[in-house]
Structure 1
Amino acid sequence: MPPRFLLAFVGLYGGYGMVSPFLPAFLAERGLDPRAIGLVLAAGTGVRLLAGPCAGRLADRRGAGRAVLVVCGLLTAGATLAFLAGHGFPALLAVGILYAAASAPLAPLADALALPAAAAGRFAYGHLRGAGSAAFIAASLTAGLVAGSFGTAAVLALGALGFAGLSAAAAGLPVPPAAPEREGGGLGRLLRSGGFLRLVLAAALVVGSHAVHDAFAVIRWREAGVSPAWIGLLWAEAVAAEVAVFLVLGPPLLDRLGPGRALALAAAAGILRWSVMALTAALPAVAAAQALHGATFALLHLACLRRIGDTVPSRLAATALTLYGSVGLGLSTAGLTLAAGALYAGLGPGAFWVMAALCVPAIPLALSLRQDPVETVRDAVAEGRDLVRPHQPD
């Protein structure tokens, strides 16, 4: 695996692993109450929905994916350090918005640079993404030790170092050959592509279905008498399953099934996983369900990126990936997380049945992708054709 790609992904996900778990605790230490912390985080979510696609579109229009990634990495590092100087709600809110805007396009832009190199046979994308997940785990564990010894401010400083490392490594990444952009840009045609929209919707349903788990699984397990040590192991098991699929199991499974059937399998795994969570909190059953995270997230992500890489022209790759990640997945996750509280309050563990139901329509959506020619989006955009109506020969 090329060292610069490896260092870029380790810096990116290592930075996230440092900052994400401890940012709320840092804001609390700076005097923000829970309501104010929620406002800072919610504002960041809203900003991400706009900043990600805007940065992706800029990268595509200018053919400057690497440059935008480097600048956004440096801005994210600077914003992370700026938290250390912030005091009071207005200042921390402003820094939080800057951090969200700068960090939103990092993962999609890194993927947009990695996918062409992976397609050229330089490495397997799953191996690279698995290394990023492993870096997230290692950084989170390190952050816990650092926070206990030196405080959360030291954790954020290390996170900033990770993002700066991403920028340093990204500056040397290869740039995919630029494709000439026709007038009109192809963005409208991409947004009218039935195949692309079905892909994003299917992924949004499955990823969004994690909302009740992420918000209330620990509460559910604690109420059932599961010890904190076992709860920690259950979370670690899910991330380990994710890494195993990225590194070992996912690529050959994806080659065998293809993106459509692999995405359908991820949705079916979601139905099974959330059904188990609705029915029982018995430790053996929950442990088996947690292992399915390798399918409900990692296999899904591999399938979606394979499909996007196969069908979307390189000059729209950053746009497509930011729409997929920041808008499709981000909007569904934010909306369903907001709904999760009311669902769990009203239904208790029965809220997991709602999450299982969300995965059901994702299966036919995913399987419908197998009926679309791989070249549909790529060729239609290249030729200036309409992606909705079939092309008729002259």
Structure 2
Amino acid sequence: MAAPFTRQPRHGSLRKVTPAARHALLYAAQFFAFGVILPFLPAVLAGRGLDPAEVAAVLAAGSAVRLVAGPLGGRLADALSAPRAVLGLAAAAAALAASGFLLAAGFLLLLLVHVALSLAIAPIVPLSDAVTLGAIRRHSFDYGRVRAAGSVAFILAALLAGQAVALLGMDSAVVLIVLGLAGTAGAALLLPAGEPSGGPGAARGLSAFLAPLGIPPLRRLLVVSALIQGSHAFYYAFGTIHWQAAGLGAGLIGALWATGVVAEIALFLWGRGVVARLGPLGLSLLAAAMGVLRWGATALTTDPLLLFPLQILHAATFGAQHLATMQVLGRVVPPAQAGTAQALHASLGAGLSMGVMTLASGPLYAAFGGGGYWAMAVLCLAAVPATVALGRVLKG
């Protein structure tokens, strides 16, 4: 199997840039944008005059839009047999929509801008995964090492945006978001040509939209992903708040979050042998087991000496399950349905469960504080029999 990055001749042309490098650039550009959006978009909205309830309403509306827009974008890419083109157009439209934050003010206009951004941005990650898995079938590079470029870019973008906001103000965060999304559009244009999807013989209409759900392993995978990835909701929503209440400082909390992402990157970069040995079922079982351990222990302690090794388990709870997902989708989904399947999985297997569990996390934290992590551990425990069921379908 070819190495993901190979040395190129000094006088080589663009055609000699490896497919893996082009896909790594695609992930780096989009996750650069996400590395600014996730920590700073709420502050951008607040800086434009929205109160906390209005900020929450705008963000919630965007989440709801993405649940529908992602699968629609994936289906459009398959129907047109043009995933690269739809990906590039979506990224360009997202960059244009994000620039609206520089001009809009007031709840209604900011809501419209964010809805437009959410419509455009929803298919970007699923289509990126779809075209990357297709390229792997042809060029045999390592998905994990390519995807790691996105995680590295996410960290660098968050750090850069923090400095930019401190020096230049909140509008600089919007500029960085626009640049990341525009870069994603450019990177999509540089992707190597792939095999066509869809085509004259492909299903149309609602049947085509729902066709991937007729694949039994995909249906089982949706359940496993919903349980394991959804178990991160309490951590994402209340991890920082819980640690602040326990007296941990902002710098220490930031280091804890960074530890999880660095561990994820390490798995993506150097875990190829482990991933090959475990396969998708072993990876999902590892993610579920480590989720029980991680969330159960995090419910019991706020001691940094224990939290740092627990954060390393993010490589298993998120990273291992993500890699398992890509292996299953790459194995069972035909190319003609790749974009739709990836987007359906992003919406139903991760997005919907994350949204539901985030809503549930508020009452859980109010009632039990850090004890709410136990509910996340139960989700991971339930993922064990769900993964066994997935294994039976894959072998059948």
Describe the shift of the 1:234–1:183 C-alpha distance in structure 2 as closer, same or farther (beyond 3 A). Answer: closer
Q: Cα deviation per residue 1:209-253 (whole Å; 9 max; x = unaligned)?
A: 11111122222222322222211110110110111111112x222
> 2:50·2:106 contact (CA, 8 Å) conserved in 1?
yes
Matched residue, 2:92: 74
Which of residues 155, 176, 180 in structure 2 aligns to 1:162?
180
- CA shift, 1:135, in A, is 0.3
Q: Taking structure 1 as the reference length, what is the TM-score of the superposition?
A: 0.91
Deviates more, 1:52-61 or 1:228-237: 228-237
Matched residue, 1:319: 340
**2: CA distance between counterparts of 1:175 and 1:109?**
14
**1: CA distance between counterparts of 2:208 and 2:71?**
14
Matched residue, 1:213: 235
Measured on the aligned residues, the alpha-carbon RMSD in Å equals 1.5
> 1:113·1:174 contact (CA, 8 Å) conserved in 2?
no
Matched residue SS, 1:372: helix
Q: Does 1:85 align with 2:103?
A: yes
Q: Does 1:275 align with 2:296?
A: yes
**2: CA distance between counterparts of 1:304 and 1:275?**
24
Q: Cα deviation per residue 1:301-357 (whole Å; 9 max; x = unaligned)?
A: 011011100110011111111011123201111111111010111112211111100
Matched residue, 1:96: 114
Matched residue, 1:259: 280
Matched residue, 1:354: 375
**2: CA distance between counterparts of 1:189 and 1:41?**
30
Matched residue, 1:303: 324
> 1:238·1:291 contact (CA, 8 Å) conserved in 2?
yes
Which of residues 139, 144, 150 in structure 1 aligns to 2:162?
144
Describe the shift of the 1:148–1:63 C-alpha distance in structure 2 as closer, same or farther (beyond 3 A). Answer: same
Matched residue, 1:382: none
- CA shift, 1:187, in A, is 4.8
- CA shift, 1:183, in A, is 4.1
Deviates more, 1:212-221 or 1:267-276: 212-221
Identity %: 42
Matched residue, 1:391: none
Q: Cα deviation per residue 1:110-142 (whole Å; 9 max; x = unaligned)?
A: 111111212334421101111110000000000
**2: CA distance between counterparts of 1:187 and 1:42?**
25
> 1:238·1:293 contact (CA, 8 Å) conserved in 2?
yes
Q: Taking structure 2 as the reference length, what is the TM-score of the superposition?
A: 0.91
> 2:66·2:347 contact (CA, 8 Å) conserved in 1?
yes
Describe the shift of the 1:186–1:24 C-alpha distance in structure 2 as closer, same or farther (beyond 3 A). Answer: closer
Q: Does 1:48 align with 2:61?
A: no
- CA shift, 1:44, in A, is 0.1
Q: Does 1:106 align with 2:127?
A: no
- CA shift, 1:170, in A, is 0.6
Describe the shift of the 1:119–1:79 C-alpha distance in structure 2 as closer, same or farther (beyond 3 A). Answer: same
> 1:260·1:368 contact (CA, 8 Å) conserved in 2?
no
Q: Cα deviation per residue 1:48-99 (whole Å; 9 max; x = unaligned)?
A: 0000000000101110101100100001100111111101111100000000
Q: Cα deviation per residue 1:249-297 (whole Å; 9 max; x = unaligned)?
A: 2x22221011012111101111100000111111122111111000111
Matched residue, 1:201: 223
- CA shift, 1:189, in A, is 4.2
Describe the shift of the 1:353–1:327 C-alpha distance in structure 2 as closer, same or farther (beyond 3 A). Answer: same
> 1:19·1:159 contact (CA, 8 Å) conserved in 2?
yes
Deviates more, 1:191-200 or 1:148-157: 191-200
- CA shift, 1:144, in A, is 0.2
Any unmatched runs of 5+ in structure 1?
377-394
